[in-house]
Amino acid sequence: MKIEILGTGCKNCNKLAENVVKAVFLSGREDIEIVKVEDMMEIVKYGVMRTPALVIDGTVKVTGRLPDIKEIKDMIAN
Amino acid sequence: MDPIKAFADWLTYSVFGLDSSTHAGQALDFFIYDTIKIFILLAAMIFLVSYARTYITPEKARKWLGNRKGIQYNFLASLVGVVTPFCSCSSVPIFIGFVGAGVPLGITFSFLITSPMVNEAAIAVLGGSVGWLATGLYVLSGILIGTFGGYFIGKLKLEDEVEDFVYNAQIGDVAQEDLVPKQRADFAWGEAKIIVKKVWPYIIIGVGVGALFHGYAPEGIMAQYAGVDNPLAVPAAVGLGVPLYSNVMGLIPIAESLIGKGLPVGTALAFLMSVTALSLPELIILKKVLSTKLIMIFVTIVTIGIIITGYMFNWIL
């Protein structure tokens, strides 16, 4: 599984990255790759206009808000 | 009587024992009253608009506005700009996201002009300090300047003044999230906390400066120097506001006290609009996607629009 965090370095983007790392740790899975995408053109390619955004295996799951650890864990589980 | 006013009076005159006829008493009363009122309105307004925002997203707006023609879509884009939060850091992703997905340039500009000018935080602070009639006029003119400004930019056929990569951007489609009410409320509450945390020092300083002016400045001083009969007051206020990059939340209470001393409301609103509508950091960021010529046209049209509405309000009110 690949999780991408889209954001140009705003405060919430860093917070999202933190939450993702914690959620992945709690899920106990070791096959998850976490990538931070900070280039604006790359972010736009996902159709995202509001950051932070969360992409799992190429699908945009969250844009413009900060999901908590539990919500991210549920997304990983499904 | 307004319970907040009653509380401010009680605190100032009974608890602190100040005299209501003194400058200090008037300034403190004004400070307590304004701060409480503004913070209550601010939190409530951000919560409500942020809740609505979970339904009206830029991704949806892009679908409504794609390949459309006609001034009614400029108007719609301005309305979306009111609800959508704006920070200069998101102007470029939104610009590329709109234009790259086929939203006409003029309609995109309607959004870009109105979005920073009219937002729920400014509405709350304006309503709490300057009053609801002036707030209504502020919102209306923000929408009209956006609608017509964008429309004119669209008519000028400036598509070549935008970087090519914007048109070539491969824009993906984003599926809309289905949120439960609790997630929407969490988001709205989170936004209210973030914004209040960010703007409270500006508001306290602004209300403080406004309170001193309210308590100590001579009556009618602004009317004497920048009254309706001074035709240069509006352009001068706008000329002062455009380069000024400041948190408008702090300037609104100061504007309120200036109005109290006779500054015409139109002149005050034109000043506030010019501070919010155009900021140097935003223009520098937009330079990544727009030519200098298009930026100059954008600045000129918005500035003229603000000056016209300033005169109009001074004339109406």
Number of domains in chain A: 1
Q: What own/partner pairs with CB < 8 Å and gap ≥ 24 does B154-161 have?
A: B154/B74, B154/B104, B154/B105, B154/B106, B154/B107, B154/B109, B155/B106, B156/B297, B158/B105, B158/B293, B158/B294, B158/B297, B159/B105, B161/B290, B161/B291, B161/B293, B161/B294
CATH of the domain at A41: 3.40.30.10
Annotated catalytic sites of A, by residue? 10, 13
Q: How far is CA B224 from CA B26, B229, B236, B310, in A?
A: 22, 9, 15, 18
**Residue B22, pLDDT above cutoff 90:** no
Which of A51-55, B169-173, B300-304 reaches the highest mean pLDDT? Answer: B300-304
pLDDT at B247: 77
Show the tokens assigned to A9. Answer: 């370095």
Q: Is the minimum CB–CB distance between B181 and chain A shorter than 8 Å? A: no
pLDDT value of residue B88: 66
- Complex confidence, ipTM: 0.71
Q: Is the CB of B89 less than 8 angstroms away from the CB of A50?
A: no
3-state secondary structure of A4: strand
| Residue A45 near chain B (CB below 8 Å) | yes
What's B243's DSSP letter? Answer: T
pLDDT tens, B217-266?
Answer: 888 888 888 888 888 999 999 998 888 777 788 899 999 999 999 999 99
pLDDT-derived band at A48 (thresholds 50, 70, 90) equals confident
At A31, the amino acid letter reads D
Distance of CA A33 to the CA centre of its chain: 11
Domain encompassing residue A67: 2-77
**Cα gap B248→B267, rounded to integer Å:** 15
State both tokens at A42: 């790359």
Q: Rounded to an integer, what distance in angstroms lies between the CA atom of residue B101 and that of residue B95?
A: 10
Cα separation, B268 vs B270, whole angstroms? 5
Residue-level length of chain B: 317
Structure-token pair, residue B57: 């997203």
Average pLDDT in chain A: 89
B242-254 per-position pLDDT tens digit? 887 777 888 999 9
Residues B140-167 have pLDDT tens digits of 999 999 999 999 999 999 999 999 888 8
| pLDDT tens-digit map of B73-131 | 999 999 999 988 766 667 788 888 899 889 999 999 999 999 989 988 889 999 988 88
Mutation site for A-interface testing, chosen from B53, B87, B89, B174 by largest number of A Cβ within 10 Å:
B174
Using CB atoms, pick whichever of A8, A48, A66 lies closest to residue B89: A8
Sheet with strand A2-6: strands edge to edge: A33-37, A2-6, A53-56, A59-63
pLDDT confidence of B297, banded at 50, 70, 90?
very high
Average pLDDT score, chain B: 89
**The pLDDT value given to residue B157:** 93
Task: Please check the confidence at residue A72 and state whether its pLDDT lies above 90.
Answer: yes
Point out which residues pair with A35 in neighbouring strands: A4
pLDDT of residue A56: 93
CA distance B41 to B34: 11
Confidence band, pLDDT 50/70/90 cuts, at residue B1: low
- Give B20's pLDDT tier (boundaries 50, 70, 90): confident
Going by pLDDT thresholds of 50, 70 and 90, the confidence category of residue B32 is very high
In this prediction, residue B206 has a pLDDT band, given cuts at 50, 70 and 90, of very high
Rama region for A47: left / alpha / beta (φ>0; ψ in -120 to 50; rest): left
pLDDT in tens, B170-203: 777 776 678 889 989 988 998 899 889 888 999 9
Q: What does the block give as tokens for A36?
A: 């931070």
Identity of the residue in A43, A45, A66 whose CB atom sits nearest the CB atom of B190: A66
Beta bridge partners of A2: A33
Decide: A55 and A3 in contact? Cβ < 8 Å. yes
The alpha carbon of B95 is separated from its chain's Cα centroid by a whole number of angstroms, namely 19
- In whole angstroms, give the CA distance from residue B172 to residue B210: 48
Give me the pLDDT at residue B311, please.
94
Q: Which of B89, B174, B187 sits opposite A10 (nearest CB)?
A: B89
Q: Measure Cα distances from B176 to A31, B53, B58, B80, B262 in Å.
A: 27, 13, 11, 17, 50
